[in-house]
Every structure is written in C-alpha cells, then in structure tokens.
Amino acid sequence: MPRELRYCRPRRDPDESLLAYLSTKFTYLAETQWRQHIAAGDISVNGETLTDGSYVLRQGDMLRFAPPRSFEPPVDSKHIEVLYEDSTLMVVTKNGNLPVAEGGRYCENTLVEVLRRRGAAAFYTASTRTSFAATHEDTEKVSDTLTHAGKIAEASVRAEGSTAMDACGKGAEIATSSPSRRRLEDGLHMTSAAGSAPCASVPLSGTPTVQQRSPLDLFTVQRLDKETSGVVVLAKNSFSARTLASRLEAQTKGCTDAVESRLRERGHAVALSSDTFDELVRLKAQSVHKTYTAVLRGAAPEDHTFVVVNYMDCMAKHPTHSWEAQHTQLKKLKMCCEPMKEMLFSHAAASLPKPPKEQQMRWGKLAVTRIRVLASNRKLGLTCVQVELLTGRSHQIRLHCAAVGYPVLGDKLYTTTTPGREGGATAVSDAVYLERVRREDDPFLPIEDDVSGAGGTSRNGKMWCRRHLLHATRITFAHPDISPARLMTFMASPVPFFTADVRFECEEDSSLFSQWLTRAVSRPLERAETSQN
C-alpha cells in the first residue's frame, strides 16, 4: 500500500533535499537505503517519479512512496490466536516482532493486514469463542486462566451457573483444563468446552457463517509496540473503536485529576501508596483495566512494590534534553520523565486559583505505574514483575521500569544509569538505537552484564534477547454494544512468548529461566484464589 504525505517545514528552516528529508525524518532506513529506493523509482513528487535525491522540496509538495513488498522486514505471525469474535469486536493475542497496524517500514506485514488477508477463522483454536447474535444478553464474562505449563491461556465465555452452550447448542460443563491448541479447519468446526469431538458449527438464524461474512474491516482500539506481545482488542466499525478509545481517554484524564487531587491534599510530592493505587483502580472498574507482565534486568527485592508517579513527555518538548546532540535525530520518538516538584502540591498552591493554561509552565503529563515484583532470580540476574497503569502514556512501562533501576530485558531504547536505584532512567543515543534495530541478519542482541548494582548475575554463560520482554497479560473492559454494561476479561500467559525470544549459552540456564518464569506468572492466580477463599 503506497504512502502519501504533504511536505511542510517551518518557514525559518533552510531548504532541504528529498534525500536529506527522507533520511532524517524516517530513520527506519539508512541514507544509503533511501538513495537506493529513489534510484529504483519507488518515490514520486507531485505525480512525477524522481531518481535524483538532490531535488529541493517545496512547501506543499505531495510525496508518494510505493515500496515493493520485499521492502518490509519479515514478521512472525505463527502465534496469532483469536480469543473472541463477534459482530463488533475481535480479541486477539499476538507475538512480539509483529506491529499491530501500519507504521514505519510496515504496511502489509501487520496484525491487522494478516487478519484481513487470511481471515480471522484461520487463527481460531479449540478455545476460541464466537457470538454473532443480534444481542449479547447471554454473554456475561469471557475469561481464561494462566496455565502452570505456560501455554497460551483459554478464553471462555462464562455465564451464571455451571453450564455453557457448546458450538452445537447443547449444555456442557465448562472444562477446567485448557483444551489443545489445534487449528480449526476453515472455521467451520468448533470443539465444545468440555473437550468433546469437533462438531459442525450451527450459525444462528439470519447470521452469516464465517465464509459468508464480508472481508474484515478492523480498527485499532489500543496499540501495543511492535515488540510487545499479548492481548489486543480490535473493533470492526469506527463507532465501536471510538467508543472504547474515548473510554480510555476519559479514564486517563479522570485518573490524572484524581491523583493530582490526592497529592495536593497531602501537601507534598510523595509517591502514592499501593493501597491508594488500588482505591483508584476500583474507581475505574467499569471501564478498561490492563495488566502487563515483564522481565527486568537485575534482581529486585522479593515481594517489593514500586508505585511510580512523575511527569513524562517526548524529548523534543523537554527544555534540556531537546538540545542534546546524541538525541537530535530521534528526539520525537524518545520519551523522558521528571519527578514532581514540591511546590506543585503545596497547600498554598492548592488554595490558589489555577492560572490560565497559557501561563502554566509545567512540563509533561502525569504518569502513574505500579510495578509488583512477582519473583527475582539472582543467578540469572532477572526479575519478573506485574505492571498496572493508571495512565496510558507512550513507552510508560518501559521508561518507569528503567526509572526504578530495573530496565526491561531486551529494551533497545531505554536503560538506567543507576542500576538497582531510582532516578536514572535514560534513552540510549541515536546511533546505538539505530544500530540495534537495523540488525536484520541476527535480531538476537547480547545482554551485557552491567547490572551489578541491581543484584549481579552468576549464570553459567551468555544470554541473548530478540525483543523487550513485555507482555499484555490481561484486559478487562465493558462491551460497547451490551446494555447494561457487562465486563469481559481476557488473559494470555507470557511464558511461551518470553521463552521463545531468549537464548542462553548454557542449557541449564535456559531450563532454569523457563521453570522460574512459569512459577512467577502463576503467583497472581494463587493470590486471587487465596483472597476468594
């Protein structure tokens, strides 16, 4: 799919050539690669194909980039699973190394385009649940359980009582164990929740079958980074997408106002307690709640909880970092954070009327994250954490993990200058980041042992990581078409995704990592069962 954009630059900026503009604005390709695309005739300006990159761009020029399909890097789409689908929504798990939607070098090799080309039924499993009825009154809750074996968890529709309707329309006991992950041929067969033999799926009256439905038209509700795996919600119409997106936006604004109000009442800029965080989470229980799992570098204290509260925004808007030479090229991509100012939350400031918006000099937007340590391993030098957000800022989880001294394992962009201690979050230089993301021959990056201050490692050999180990484990939201509102919950285990993206020189370390990670991700379930009992 060709890309089109209209060229525009500030009047005071000097003229720039086509090659200079492309290589500085779209850094996913090096200057030599852009020169090759121009010479091959892949770029046109105002409808005319150019083969010379020295053309000086003028205000309002229309650029069109039509790269060959081979231009896009290959992606891994083997681990896509449709957890739930109805006439309005689709809930999917995706692996790392797969963008959700078009952006950068990716246009056709994205989750949305793969689903459109192959159809959702190609990614159905025995645990997939569908509902194409006109109403959703029978759908109350969709959930699944993280398995101790580390397999992708089952998403099942649970109604009140102990029975559910299987694909043939008969009552069946809901199975407690996860069914096998076999693909369903052509989407015409479903396996009952009790694990019985496949039977023909009987569509509801007036409801088209999978093959009869028109091609997918998908809209993103929330995006995950290309390297982040886990649960993604996609809408099939713009209205539902806007409804869910507006809930997320309103929720972020409401939580931001609530946090600032709490801190003003206290009179000083201290971090929120975990109990206060829980109280604020309960306030948004009828909206959207997301939980992530991550593996961090360094061995953090067992059962410790960090609640990070600060302001963050892109480096291009920061009064200091925007002028640093090492971040000049990618300062609009990189994020940075700053601690809150004491004077901002003083009683005196709280009693004064707020100044006009144009007079408020505060930099950035409030960001609040809770990081719970599930387990740490000093031999591997790693920590497994559960992460929850009150606000949704770009790169918030990765930056806040680095801010507490334990950056996400495999993160190519963010690190810390104070391992094991708070306050040292920073982005690597442009040159280092670009060298890392352009490694197409071997995407597995070596992990340097520079975390001695965060609980050093004593593993037997080297370790490599293909991506940052961050996974969207759970999402709870109210279906936009169900009234009264009913919450739907979907979960997917991070274990199979994480273990596939880490390599160890020693087999003993690899086995230890898999066993340790499986035990760590099971702890939230054990806590939930204990609290219910």
DSSP-assigned states of every residue in 370-416: EEEEEEEETTTTEEEEEEEESS--TTHHHHHHHHTT-PBTT-SSEEE
Question: Once rounded to an integer, what is the mean pLDDT over residues 29-49?
Answer: 89
Give which of 220, 244, 431 is closest to 325, Cα–Cα.
Answer: 431
| Of 67-71, 105-109, 253-257, 293-297, the least confident | 67-71
Q: Domain 284-342+363-450+457-522, what fold? A: Pseudouridine synthase (3.30.2350)
Beta strands in 278-395 (DSSP E): 288-297, 305-314, 335-338, 365-377, 382-389
Would the pLDDT of 179 be above 90? Answer: no
Question: Once rounded to an integer, what is the mean pLDDT over residues 482-497?
Answer: 88
What pLDDT is attached to residue 211?
Answer: 39
Give which of 292, 342, 328 is closest to 494, Cα–Cα.
Answer: 292
Question: Once rounded to an integer, what is the mean pLDDT over residues 69-73?
Answer: 74
Strand partners, 65: 3, 43
Q: Are 477 and 488 in contact (CB under 8 A)?
A: yes
Confidence band for 456, pLDDT divided at 50, 70 and 90: low
Confidence band for 292, pLDDT divided at 50, 70 and 90: very high
Nearest-5° Cα angle at 214, 213 to 217: 120
Confidence band for 188, pLDDT divided at 50, 70 and 90: very low
Measured in whole angstroms, how far is the alpha carbon of residue 452 from the centre of its chain? 29
Measured in whole angstroms, how far is the alpha carbon of residue 142 from the centre of its chain? 21
Give which of 339, 327, 399 is closest to 363, Cα–Cα.
Answer: 339
Residue whose entry in the numeric block shows the structure tokens 């273990």: 499
Give which of 191, 146, 215, 219 is closest to 497, Cα–Cα.
Answer: 146
Confidence band for 285, pLDDT divided at 50, 70 and 90: low
Q: What is the mean pLDDT of the chain?
A: 76
Would the pLDDT of 146 be above 60? Answer: no
Q: How many CB atoms lie within 10 A of CB 319?
A: 9
Strand partners, 86: 131
Confidence band for 516, pLDDT divided at 50, 70 and 90: very high
Question: Once rounded to an integer, what is the mean pLDDT over residues 470-497?
Answer: 89
Would the pLDDT of 144 be above 90? Answer: no
If you average pLDDT over each of 75-84, 218-227, 290-299, which comes out highest? 290-299
Question: Once rounded to an integer, what is the mean pLDDT over residues 15-27?
Answer: 88
Who wins on pLDDT, 411 or 216? 411
Confidence band for 432, pLDDT divided at 50, 70 and 90: very high
Concatenating the DSSP letter of every residue in 398-461 gives: HHHHHHTT-PBTT-SSEEESSTTSTT-EEEPPHHHHHHHHT--S--PEE-----GGGT----SS
What pLDDT is attached to residue 297?
Answer: 94
Domain residue limits, the chain: 3-71, 284-342+363-450+457-522
Who wins on pLDDT, 362 or 287? 287
Residues in the chain: 533
Would the pLDDT of 531 be above 80? Answer: no
Give the C-alpha separation, 490 to 188, whole Å: 23
Give the C-alpha separation, 382 to 263, whole Å: 33
Q: Beta 305-314 vs 288-297: how paired, if at all?
A: unpaired
Residue 5: CA count within 13 A, CB half-sphere: 12
What pLDDT is attached to residue 204?
Answer: 32
What pLDDT is attached to residue 281?
Answer: 77
Entry pTM: 0.76
What pLDDT is attached to residue 474?
Answer: 94
Q: What is the pLDDT of residues 341-390, one digit of tens each?
A: 543 443 334 444 454 444 345 678 889 999 999 999 999 999 999 999 98
* 3-state DSSP assignment of residue 334: coil
Who wins on pLDDT, 205 or 520? 520
CATH of region 3-71: 3.10.290.10
- At position 49, the amino acid (one-letter code) is T
Strand partners, 376: 383
What pLDDT is attached to residue 247?
Answer: 85
Confidence band for 457, pLDDT divided at 50, 70 and 90: low
Q: Beta 129-131 vs 81-86: how paired, if at all?
A: parallel
Who wins on pLDDT, 407 or 366? 407
Q: How many CB atoms lie within 10 A of CB 390?
A: 26
Confidence band for 173, pLDDT divided at 50, 70 and 90: very low
Confidence band for 252, pLDDT divided at 50, 70 and 90: confident
